Chain A
Amino acid sequence: MEMKLEKLSEYKWKLPIGSVPGMRVPGIVYGDEALIRSIEKEGSLKQLAQSATLPGAEKAALAMPDIHYGYGFPIGGVLATRCSDGVISPGGVGFDINCGVRLLTTPLSKSDIDKEVEPLVRRLFSYVPCGVGSRGKIKLRKKEMKPVLREGSRWAVENGFGVDADLVVTEAEGCLRDAEPSDVSIHAYDRGRDQLGTLGSGNHFIEIQYVDAVYEADVAEAFGLHEGRVTIMIHSGSRGLGHQVCTDYLKVMQSAVNTYNIHIPDRQLACAPFRSKEGQAYLSALKCAANFAWANRQCLMHWVRQAFHDALGDQCRYDDMPLVYDVAHNIVKIETHNVGGKKVKLAVHRKGATRAWGPHREELPEKYRPWGQPVLIPGDMGTASYVLVGTEHAMAETFGSACHGAGRVLSRKAARRAAKGRSIVRELADKGIAVMSAGRGTIAEEMPDAYKAIDDVIRIVSGAGIARPVVRMRPMGVIKG
Chain B
Amino acid sequence: MNMKNAENPYGIVRELDATADIEIIAISDTVENLFAATGFALFNLMTDLSAVEPKYRWKVRITGTADFASGLVDWLNELIFLYETKHVFLSRFDVRIREDELTADVWGEEIDPERHEFRMGIKAATYHRLRVERSKEGWIAQVVLDV
Query: Chain A: residues with CB nearer than 8 A to chain B?
Result: 42, 68-72, 75, 94-96, 131-133, 135, 187, 190-191, 193, 195, 200-202, 240, 243-244, 246-247, 250-251, 254, 266-268, 270, 408-414, 438-442, 445, 481
Known: A95-B146, A201-B120, A240-B84. A70 touches B127 (CB 8 A): no
Q: Residue A71 contacts which of B46, B83, B144 (CB distance < 8 angstroms)?
A: B144
Bound-state Cα–Cα, A243 to B15, Å: 22
By a CB distance below 8 angstroms, the chain A residues around B74 are 251
A246 vs B126: C-alpha distance when bound (angstroms):
10
CB of A266 within 8 A of CB of B70, answer no
1/0 per position for B91-121, CB-CB distance to A under 8 A?
0000000000000000000010100111111
B84: chain A residues within 8 A (beta carbon): 191, 195, 240
Q: Is the CB of B22 within 8 A of A412?
A: yes
Contacts of B46 in A (CB 8 A): 132
- Complex contact B121–A201 (CB within 8 A): yes
Is there contact, CB below 8 Å, between B19 and A95? Answer: no
Whether A72 pairs with B121 at a CB distance below 8 angstroms is no
Interchain CB contact (< 8 A) of B121 among A411, A440, A481? A481
- Per the 8 Å Cβ criterion, residues 36-91 of B in contact with A are 46-47, 66, 70, 73-74, 77, 81, 83-85, 87
Residues on B with beta carbons closer than 8 Å to the beta carbon of A131: 118, 121
- In the complex with contacts A95-B146, A131-B118, A440-B119, A244-B81 CB distance below 8 A: yes
* 10 sampled A-B residue pairs with Cβ under 8 A: A68-B20, A131-B118, A132-B47, A202-B147, A244-B81, A254-B70, A267-B128, A270-B127, A409-B19, A440-B119
Known contacts A96-B123, A187-B81, A413 near B15 by CB under 8 Å: yes
New contact pairs (11) apart from A132-B46, A132-B47, A133-B83, CB-CB < 8 Å = A69-B20, A132-B121, A133-B113, A187-B81, A191-B81, A195-B84, A243-B124, A244-B81, A266-B127, A414-B17, A440-B117
Contact call A267/B127, Cβ cutoff below 8 A: yes
Contact of A408 among B19, B77, B126, B130 (CB under 8 A): B19
Given contacts A246-B124, A267-B128, contact A408 B118 (CB under 8 A): no
Interface pair B120/A71, CB less than 8 Å apart: no
Q: Chain B at the A interface: mostly helix, strand, loop or mixed? A: loop
Is B6 in contact with chain A by the CB < 8 A criterion?
no
- CB nearest neighbor in A for B146: A95
> Which B-chain residue is minimally distant from A411 (CB atoms)?
B17
Q: Are B111 and A95 in contact (CB under 8 A)?
A: no
A72 touches B124 (CB 8 A): no
- Name the distance in Å between A126's Cβ and chain B's nearest Cβ: 13
In the bound assembly, the distance between CA atoms of A193 and B86 in angstroms comes to 12
- B120 contact set on A, CB distance < 8 A: 132, 201-202, 412, 439, 441-442, 445
Docked Cα-Cα span, A71 to B22, in Å, equals: 10
CA distance A95 to B47 in the complex (A): 22
What 8 pairs between A and B have smallest CB-CB spacing? A71-B128, A267-B127, A201-B121, A441-B119, A132-B118, A411-B17, A243-B123, A133-B111
Is B21 in the interface zone, CB < 8 Å from A?
yes
Assembly CA distance A75 to B124 (angstroms): 16
- When distances are taken between beta carbons in the complex, the residues of chain A under 8 Å from B113 are 133
- Chain B residue at minimal CB-CB distance from A437: B118
With a cutoff of 8 Å between Cβ atoms, the chain B residues found around residue A246 in the complex are 124
A71 touches B118 (CB 8 A): no
Smallest distance from the beta carbon of B62 to chain A beta carbons, Å? 11
Smallest CB-CB separation from B83: which chain A residue? A133
In this complex, what residue of B is CB-closest to A187? B81
Asked if A250 and B127 make an inter-chain contact with CB atoms under 8 angstroms apart, the answer reads: yes
Cβ–Cβ < 8 Å partners of A202 in chain B: 120-121, 147
Q: Which chain B residues border A244 with CB–CB below 8 Å? A: 81
Checking B15, B21, B83 against A70 with a beta-carbon cut-off of 8 angstroms, the contacting residue is B21
Is B21 a contact partner of A133 (Cβ separation < 8 A)? no
Separation of A438 and B46 alpha carbons in the complex (Å): 12
Residue of A nearest to B125 (CB): A247
| CB pair A132 B127 closer than 8 Å | no
Complexed CA–CA distance, A266 and B15 (Å): 21
Residues of A within 8 A of B128 (CB): 71-72, 266-268
Contacts of A409 in B (CB 8 A): 19
CB-nearest residue of chain A relative to B111?
A133
Task: Name the B residues within 8 Å of A440 (CB-CB).
Answer: 117-119
Chain B residues with CB under 8 A of A68: 19-20
- What is the distance, in angstroms, from A269's C-beta to the closest C-beta of chain B? 9
B1 within 8 A of A: no
Tell whether, in the assembled complex, residue A411 and residue B124 are in contact, meaning their CB atoms are under 8 Å apart.
Answer: no
Specify the chain B residue showing the minimal Cβ separation from A409.
B19
Residue among B66, B87, B126 making CB contact with A133, cutoff 8 Å? B87
Q: How far is the CA of A202 from the CA of B147 in the complex (A)?
A: 7
Of chain A, the residue at the smallest CB distance from B127 is A267
Given known contacts A68-B19, A69-B20, A133 and B70 CB-to-CB distance under 8 angstroms: no
* B119 touching A71, Cβ below 8 Å: no
Closest chain-A Cβ to B32's Cβ sits at a distance in Å of: 22
CB distance from A191 to the nearest CB of B (A): 5
With A191-B84, A267-B127, A268-B128 known as contacts, the answer to whether A70 contacts B20 (CB < 8 A) is yes
Q: Are B147 and A412 in contact (CB under 8 A)?
A: yes
Least Cβ–Cβ distance between A92 and chain B, in angstroms: 13
With contact pairs A132-B119, A202-B147, A411-B17 given, residues A268 and B70 touching in the complex (Cβ less than 8 Å): no
